Chain A
Amino acid sequence: MEKSTLTVCPYCGAGCHINLVTENGKIVRAEGAPGRTNESQLCLKGMYGWEYLNDTKALSPRLKKPLIRNSRQDDFREASWDEAIKFASSRLMAIKEKYGPDAIMATGSARGPGNEANYVMQKLVRAVIGTNNIDHCARI
């Protein structure tokens, strides 16, 4: 059975509304929905931009497991979330201890993640790491 989910296109700031039509948990097509800015119209990116969700591997593979390595000379190895979080957080803390919080910098993401994820990132950087070193890619 087809199901339709109303969402917003992630490809530019026009913020067009899209209905993602799914069947058996897979996206089958996108349809323009009556948003304020787009009035049911979509461009090519809005029409077909969902295809990567089916992990086409056309260009590069989707990440599916945390990956870590002890040295940059090593290959990556898969890790559990527990191990990866421990690994990343303990190293961050060690750097904070040794050089101070301002030796750490983080980015936000102006692409798919959304405002809530970015809010939590800046909270992590300011309240937990203790620095204002946070910025994002496309300035202005």
Chain B
Amino acid sequence: MSNSVPEIEDTKLVFVFGYNAADSHPIVARRIVRAKEKGAKIITVDPRRTEAARISDLWLPITNGSNMALVNAFAHVLIEEDLYDKDYVARYTEGFDAYWDIVKTYSPEKTYKTHGVEPELVRKAMRMYAAAPDAFILYGMGVTQFGQAVDVVKGLSGLALLTGNFGRPNVGIGPVRGQNNVQGTCDVGVLPNIFPGYQPVTDPKVREKFAKAWNVPSLPDKVGYMLTAIPHLVHEGKLKAFYIFGEDPAQTDPDLGGVREALQNLELVIVQDIFMNKTALFADVILPATAWGEHDGVYSSCDRGFQRMRKAVEPKGDVKPDWEIFSLMATAMGYPMQYNNTKEIWDEMRELSPLYLGATYEKMEQQGGVQWPCPEPDHPGTPYLYKGNKFDTPSGKGLLFAAEWRPPLERTDADYPLVLSTVREVGHYSCRTMTGNCPTLKTLADEPGYIQINSVDAAKYGIANEALLWISSRRGRVLTRAQITDRANPGHVYMTYQWWIGACNELTLEHVDPISKTPEYKYCAVKVEAIPDQLRAERYLHEEYAKLKHKLSSPVK
């Protein structure tokens, strides 16, 4: 996020794009409601009539899979109607001519067929956005989980640049991320191309600095593999061992059939986790770790805030903190490693990362948290980025960027006439081993989970509300339960991905954005089939669930 969560409520316009705050981040949703109470306008772009759409001044029901076309149409209107901030664009941005070259062909009228939003509504939205003294764009997985994702994110930044909505409080653009510590995992270099503090592995000076600090002669200079490439890499014989730390790819990754095959064919699978999960069923070694509440450390909030989490209870069982397990592994592999606590680790990283140098445990303690950049010991941290409109580009100017729209990979056809999009549900979290083990949250919804389907489609396929049904794609078939709702648009169905029996990733496909490699969870072709004998289907569901639960619990005494 360029700016901070609390600033959302003081902006004059919240522009929500492909982000269902009410289900993903209720506390962020509350800020949006408060902004409205304070008089802010709200514009929402979403195919579904989400909570945000419901309270919006304008709701733009976009056709699934057309984000780039609509964002380009927005830019087109801002420029064509002379709504943009010419002075700001001249002083602080670059690339305007190339940008206009692309977006000039995307008039709302011409692109209507692609994105399905009434041209007048597109124009109205941009007039409103440009007129707001401060505007804050929030986007979510409705943007990032498409084959064309990074382009759209840059496109949204372009809208903020055109209107001068950067470099001060209450403006900017914010991805609101899924899992709690995605920001932190990026911050500390768990990416194939960067060391901690966003320092590239391809920079010889950076490598030299880390090699010296870590006391090794040299460090690898080649950018590593991305996770989504694993099935291919295993298939080609390039990858032999996989050390899986606190994730469950056999539940959360797309095209689960492909993932299972890859796990099976690896020579070594090490799983380090807190609960038994579907991935661990493929492991050779399972290393049990302490959980949240049982260990200390730092998380990064979605707005770059380092905050301390603390141990509240003693762990049960013969388990160890993750960092201690890694130290034991390193030592056993001939590299003696020893830390006494997380503060020692944090200080080592801080001193190697100019962006975080001043973000000490003490400062987090005093201030409740520290937002990076925090480059010096007496620096308080940075609530919003790009102060003075200086951007992270070589020239310091913000780059106006547009790309041509690319349609989603898979098309619907006579066999698979519906589009499936995976979404989030309030109460459950990712692969569910944590929330699924919380009785209060578990009662909110249980297996096999729901499929949201419009009443028109439900009638067409003879599906009753709450009935079990089969949903299948070219990759697999799962059982799920119908929730008939006109919040879903006709021709499109929505499933959450945390269910074990109703595992929608049996259906999704492994088509990824060329830059981010994020899978296209939001678009694949499916069909639904009603089940005449509901009693038998219910029985089948119970048996399968019991079998799976047994399979997961039998390795653990």
Contact = CB atoms under 8 A, between A and B. Distances in A.
Given A60-B436, A103-B238, A41 B30 contact: yes
A15 B475 CA distance: 37
Contacts of B283: 67
B310 interface: yes
Interface stretch (B79-87, B327-335, B459-467, B484-492): B327-335
Interface in B138-161: 144, 149-150, 153
A89 B297 contact: no
Nearest to B8: A37
A27 B313 contact: yes
B441 A139 contact: no
B326 A117 contact: yes
A140 B175 contact: yes
Nearest to B335: A128
Contacts of A121: 190, 245, 322, 326
Interface in B215-258: 216, 219-220, 222-228, 230, 233, 238-247, 249, 252-253
B436 A88 contact: no
Contacts of A36: 4-6, 305, 368-369
B323 A120 contact: yes
Interface in B195-218: 195-196, 201, 210-211, 214, 216
A57 B442 CA distance: 12
Contact of B285 (A8, A56, A66): A66
Interface in A10-68: 10-17, 20, 22, 25-27, 34-38, 41-53, 55-68
A92 B319 CA distance: 21
Given A45-B435, A137-B247, A132 B192 contact: yes
Given A43-B26, A131-B220, A138-B177, A59 B437 contact: yes
B342 A113 contact: no
A56 B316 contact: no
Contact of B438 (A16, A52, A90): A52
B222 A52 contact: no
Interface stretch (B44-52, B270-278, B525-533): B270-278
Contacts of B297: 113-117
B323 A116 contact: yes
Nearest to B426: A44
A128 B305 contact: no
Contacts of B246: 107-109, 111-113
Given A59-B549, A84-B287, A120-B323, A114 B299 contact: yes
Contact of A134 (B192, B301, B320): B192
Contacts of A95: 240-241, 267-268
B345 A119 contact: yes
Given A5-B312, A27-B293, A139-B518, A115 B319 contact: no
B287 A12 contact: no
A129 B286 CA distance: 19
A45 B427 contact: yes
B318 A81 contact: yes
B317 interface: yes
Given A43-B426, A104-B241, A61 B276 contact: yes
A56 B189 CA distance: 34
B4 to A, nearest CB: 8
B313 A25 contact: yes
A114 B184 contact: yes
Contacts of A66: 285-288, 318
Interface centre among B4, B282, B305 (most CB of A within 10 A): B305
Contacts of A84: 285, 287
B492 to A, nearest CB: 22
Contacts of B554: 75
A105 B230 contact: yes
Contacts of A101: 220
B441 A89 contact: no
Contact of B332 (A7, A85, A120): A85
Contacts of A58: 436-439, 442
Contact of B286 (A8, A60, A63, A104): A63
Nearest to B430: A111
Contact of A53 (B268, B291, B349, B517): B291
Contacts of B185: 108-110, 115, 118, 136
Contacts of A126: 195, 201, 210, 214, 219-220
A67 B272 CA distance: 10
A51 B312 CA distance: 13
B88 to A, nearest CB: 27
A119 B270 contact: no
B54 to A, nearest CB: 18
B299 A115 contact: yes
B201 A132 contact: yes
Contacts of A140: 144, 149-150, 153, 175, 177, 182, 516, 518
Contact of A55 (B316, B325, B549): B316
A98 B267 CA distance: 12
Nearest to A13: B302
Interface in B403-448: 426-427, 429-430, 432-442, 444
Given A92-B243, A122-B189, A72 B267 contact: no
Given A10-B180, A109-B185, A104 B288 contact: no
Given A25-B314, A113-B289, A103 B240 contact: yes
A91 B297 CA distance: 30
B129 interface: no
A1 interface: no
Contacts of B296: 114
Given A10-B299, A114-B296, 7 more contacts: A8-B299, A41-B27, A108-B188, A108-B245, A126-B219, A127-B335, A133-B192
25 contacts: A16-B27, A17-B307, A27-B313, A50-B293, A50-B438, A51-B439, A55-B316, A62-B556, A63-B276, A64-B319, A72-B282, A72-B284, A95-B268, A107-B249, A111-B434, A115-B184, A115-B187, A117-B326, A122-B189, A122-B190, A124-B330, A127-B216, A128-B335, A137-B179, A140-B149
Enumerate the 7 nearest inter-chain pairs by beta-carbon distance, A residue then B residue, closest first. A109-B246, A64-B317, A114-B297, A15-B301, A108-B190, A132-B224, A13-B302
